[in-house]
Amino acid sequence: MKRTLSLLLLSALSLAAAQKVATPIAIGIAVAQTSNASLFGQEQVIGAKLAEKFLNARGGVGGTPIKLVFQDTSGDEAGAINAFQNLISKDNVVGIVGPTLSQQAFSADPIADRAKVPVIGPSNTAKGIPQIGAYISRVSAPVTAIAPNALKQALKINPKLKKVAVLYAQNDAFSTSETGIFQQTAKDLDLNIATVQKFQTTDNDFTTQVTAVLGENVDLVIISGLANDSGNLIKQLRQLGYKGLIVGGNGLNSSSMFPICGQYCDGVIVAQAYSPTQSSAANQLFAREYKAQYKKDPPQFAAQAYTGVQVFVDALKVLDRKKKIADWDLGELRVALNKQILIGKYKTPLGELSFDKDGDIVQQAFYVAQIKMKDAKNGTFVFLK
């Protein structure tokens, strides 16, 4: 009896170990489709789906199509962990593009790393993300590469800038990481930080912080937060009379924020890891396809999510030429795929990219844009020279 049981157990185990890769090839997308973080997540879903359609139309992986499997992470750690676990153990994906927030990545990525499932972060920009583990990389350039550009641009617009106020969401890993870079860069540029104010991503009323900022007579305000909080903060800053320049971080890099701050978003300076005018053939195709469908320029979060899916497909193609993907053992494929991702070079909408030894993106060009509102709900990011 005992022997039969252990035999059964053994064969179940070896079955699990010998699990083949399903076709179409499943790639997991774990982003925020609900909660406030879905202001970014919606753009990521669009970008990922465009990649699926576009890459399958061009033969997928050596003739085998890919299939995206979506698991909503919502906006918190528990949601991301749950989504990752489902994708890894239930949906048997070859790898995961996600999650939306760095705050979620620090909790969910270690689960994939332990399971040896490659993760490509599509928007996680906090310091330390690729260092979570060998299976974690990202196509979203870190705050260290992005944030300083916005401050330099603010100084270009107003070379007389001297006194600045810094505000950040203290309960969010990305925001605390980004404000560190903003504050260091401000000091490096000889700006005088008159006040540092904290808030929560769940806050709606910023009277205390705005009052403190107005009391300092600053000529630049620098904000690190997510979309809803930052949008409301900007609105209240302007309504209470602040007239100077505003630099927003990555959390302000979405038109989903426009209805929140409305006309008050006008003029906010935001650094970019993507430009719709980037001249590569890969971007021209992506931007054309996006524009045809959505009647506007593609946003950064869509371009990065598209790139995440593309990197998986490009790396899978290399492995498929050695042995058809359907013939691989899933566990072995995940390991080989991670290795291939890290050594590859990719022609993407973000330009040509590769990864450093930790899995951080090596990207050629960055940009800065300024928000231009047409009315209370609609606006654009105008790219600056």
Instruction: List interacting residues with ligand MET (CB under 6 A).
Output: 40, 100-103, 123-126, 174, 226, 250-251
* Min CB(80)–ligand MET separation in Å: 11
Cβ proximity to ligand MET: between 319 and 371 the closer is: 371
Q: Give CA torsion, residues 171, 32, 310, 136, to 10 deg.
A: 40
Distance CA 15, CA 21 (A): 13
* Min CB(366)–ligand MET separation in Å: 14
Residue with tokens 């990752």: 84
Distance CA 134, CA 278 (A): 30
Residue sitting closest to ligand MET (CB): 174
* Min CB(199)–ligand MET separation in Å: 14
Distance CA 50, CA 141 (A): 21
Cβ proximity to ligand MET: between 103 and 255 the closer is: 103
Residue with tokens 């900007």: 234
Cβ proximity to ligand MET: between 40 and 290 the closer is: 40
Distance CA 333, CA 206 (A): 50
Cβ proximity to ligand MET: between 153 and 177 the closer is: 177
Cβ proximity to ligand MET: between 244 and 299 the closer is: 299
Cβ proximity to ligand MET: between 270 and 309 the closer is: 270
Distance CA 71, CA 244 (A): 42
* Min CB(304)–ligand MET separation in Å: 9
* Min CB(227)–ligand MET separation in Å: 7
* Min CB(174)–ligand MET separation in Å: 3
Query: Distances from the Cα of 271 to the Cαs of 104, 133, 374, in angstroms?
Result: 23, 28, 20
* Min CB(181)–ligand MET separation in Å: 12
Q: How many residues are there in the chain?
A: 385
* Min CB(251)–ligand MET separation in Å: 4
Contact 277, 318 (CB under 8 A): no
Cβ proximity to ligand MET: between 21 and 222 the closer is: 222
Cβ proximity to ligand MET: between 124 and 209 the closer is: 124
